[in-house]
Amino acid sequence: MALNVVILAAGKGTRMRSDLPKVLHPIAHKSMVEHVIATAKNLGSETINLVYGYGGDKLQAKIQEQALNWVLQAEQLGTGHAVAQANDHITDDDTVLVLYGDVPLIQTSTLESLLTAKPDNGLAILTVYLDNPTGYGRIVRENGNVVGIVEQKDANSEQLAIQEVNTGIMALPGKQLKSWLGQLSSDNAQGEYYLTDVIAMAHRDGVEISTAQPQSAIEVEGANNRVQLAQLERAYQLREAEKLMLAGANLRDPNRIDIRGNVEVGMDVMIDINTVFEGEVKLGNSVTVGAGAIIINSTIADNAVIKPYSIIENAVVGEDASAGPFARLRPGAELKQDAHVGNFVEMKKSVLGKGSKAGHLTYLGDAQIGERVNIGAGTITCNYDGVNKSLTQIDDGAFIGSNSSLVAPVEIGKMATVGAGSVVTSKVEDEQLAVARGKQRNLYGWKRPVKK
Ligand code: UD1
Ligand code: CA
C-alpha cells in the first residue's frame, strides 16, 4: 500500500480580503499549506498532490517542496471534482488521504490513527462531535454503521440534529475512489460534485467504513478569515509551548511565547514572557531567556543567560556566557564560554573569547577577540571605510579603555592596553600601552563667560 495524499487548496479565500491565495496565509511564519505538506511528509506519503485554483504563480513561487504534483482545478465544482483532478496520479492500490490546505493544525498522530482505523480495502473518515454542528456535513449511521454523509443544505430536520460531523479528512482505497468519483452527480442543493457522496456509494458497494477522531477539535478547523487565522495561530503556539514544557523548559506564561520554527531545549530552561523564537533555535540545559528576547537561528549553550530585550540572530552563545539586557548579536556573532556582552552592545561577524567582556555601548564588527579581554564602554571597531570591511584582532588579556575607536585593519597585542578615548590606527604590540588622543591642557585664570 502506497500512501497518496491529495491536498485541496483551490479555494479563493475571498473572506481573507487579500491578494494572497488563502492557503499561503501563515501560521507561525509558515504558510498553512506548507504545514499540511510537512505533515503529509511526516506520514511517509509517497505522492503528494496539491489541487490549486487561484494564484498558481504565487503558490509555486512560495512552495519550494520539490516532490509535489501540481494539479490545477480550473473551475471549482466541488470537493469531489477537486479530488478527481488528481486521478492521473492515483494508482489502484494507493490509499488516498484527503487533506485541506486551509486546515493546518492537523497532527501526524491523528492521521496515523485514521490510517490505522481504515480497514483493508475499506475507508475511514475523520469525524468530530459538535454541540453546534451547523454548516457541516452530517455522518449518517444505521445500526451504528456509517451509511453516508449529508451536507447541511441537503439535510432533513432529523439529519440536522446529528452531532457527528465530517471533518472532510478521509482515507480511501484508490481503485474504488476513482470509480466512485466518476459516478458523482451535481444534482444537489449546491450544484456541486460532493466528495462526501462517495460514502453512500461505498456503503452501497459493501465497502467497510470506519471512523476516527482527532485528539483535539482545533486540529480540523480551517481558517476562512483572519479572525480564524489568529485563533489557529494561538492554538498552534500553545501546542508548541506545551512541547517545550514537556521537554524541560519552564515557561513563565505559555500564552506569551511565540515559536516560528523549531526550538530544541535542554532541561531546566527558563523562558520569560513575550519571547520570540524563529528558525532553528537550540537552548542547552539551564539556559535562561529574559523577557522580550528574540532569538533567531541561534544556539545558546548550557547555563548561558540571555537577558531581557536582546536580539540574537544567526549567532552562538557559549556555555555560561551572557548577553544583554538590550544586546544585539547579529549574524556571525559568537560568545565563547563565560564571555559577556551588556546593554547596547552590537556584534556582527565577531568572536568574543572565553571570559572576555564588553559591558556597555559597544560595536564589535569583524573582530576576533581573544580570552579575558576587557572592552571598555563605548568602544567601536571601525570596520568599514565606506568601501571595504577590515578585521580587528584583539589578543588575550588586552584591555581597551572606554570610548576607543579601533580603526581596522588593526591588531591589539596580548596584554596590551589602550588608553580611554584613543583612536588606534596601527598595531599595538604585546603588553604596550597605546594612548592616541589629544592631550589635556588645564588653563589657569580662565573665566567662564557670563550673561551681560
Ligand atoms: C466540506 C464537506 C463537509 C464538511 C466540511 C468540513 C463536502 C461536499 N463537504 O464542506 O461535509 O463538514 O467540508 O469543513 O466535501 N475545495 C476545492 N475545490 C472545490 C471545492 C472545495 O479545492 O471545488 C476546497 C476548498 O478550498 C476548501 C475545501 O475544499 O479548502 C472544503 O470546501 P468547502 O466548499 O469549504 O466545503 P464545505 O462546504 O465546508
Ligand atoms: Ca468549508
168 CB near ligand 1 (under 6 Å): yes
- Ligand 1 atom with the smallest distance to the CA of 101 is 30
Q: So what CATH class is 3-215?
A: alpha beta
For ligand 1, whether the C-beta of 202 sits within 6 Å is no
3-state secondary structure of 122: coil
Give the number of whichever ligand sits closest to the CA of residue 136: 1
User: Cell numbers 471534482 correspond to what residue?
Assistant: 81
State the Cα–Cα distance between residues 424 and 410, nearest whole angstrom: 8
Measured by CA distance, the residue closest to atom 27 of ligand 1 is 11
| 402 contacts: CB under 8 Å, gap ≥ 6 | 376, 377, 378, 379, 420, 421
Q: Is 140 helix (H, G, I), strand (E, B) or coil?
A: strand
Determine whether 29 is an active site residue: no
Q: Where are the domains of the chain?
A: 3-215, 226-434
Q: In angstroms, rounded to a whole number, what is the distance separating the alpha carbons of residues 323 and 311? A: 9
- State in Å: Cα 195 to ligand 1 middle: 8
Residue 257: strand pairing partners: 275
Which residues neighbour 59 within 8 Å (Cβ) at sequence distance 6 or greater?
A: 9, 21, 23, 24, 33, 50, 52
Q: Which ligand is nearest to the CA of 78?
A: 1
361 lines ligand 1 (CB under 6 A): no
Question: Fold identical between 3-215 and 226-434?
Answer: no
Q: Please tell me the predicted confidence (pLDDT) of residue 322.
A: 98
Nearest ligand to the C-alpha atom of residue 167: 1
Which is the closest atom of ligand 1 to the Cα of 76? 23
Output the CA 211–ligand 2 centroid distance in Å: 20
What is the number of the ligand 1 atom nearest to the C-alpha of 10?
22
CA of 193, closest atom in ligand 1: 8
Bond into 173 cis (ω within 30): no
- DSSP code, position 25: S
Q: Residue 362, by phi and psi: left (phi above 0), alpha (psi -120 to 50) or beta? A: beta
DSSP-H helix ranges across 31-86: 32-42, 56-62, 79-84
Q: pLDDT below 50 — which residues of the chain?
A: none
The CA distance from 50 to 85, in Å, is 10
Ligand 1 centroid to residue 82 C-alpha, Å: 9
Tell me if 149 CB under 6 Å of ligand 1: yes
Check pocket membership of 379 for ligand 1, CB cut-off 6 A: no
Distance 79 CA to ligand 1 centre (A): 5
CA 42 to centroid of ligand 1, rounded, Å: 24
Strands 374-375, 357-365: pairing is parallel
pLDDT at residue 216, rounded to an integer: 94
Q: How far apart are CA 124 and CA 102, in angstroms?
A: 21
What is the predicted pLDDT for the residue at 69? 97
To which CATH superfamily is domain 226-434 assigned? Hexapeptide repeat proteins (2.160.10.10)
8 lines ligand 1 (CB under 6 A): yes
Residue 373 in contact with residue 397, Cβ under 8 Å?
yes
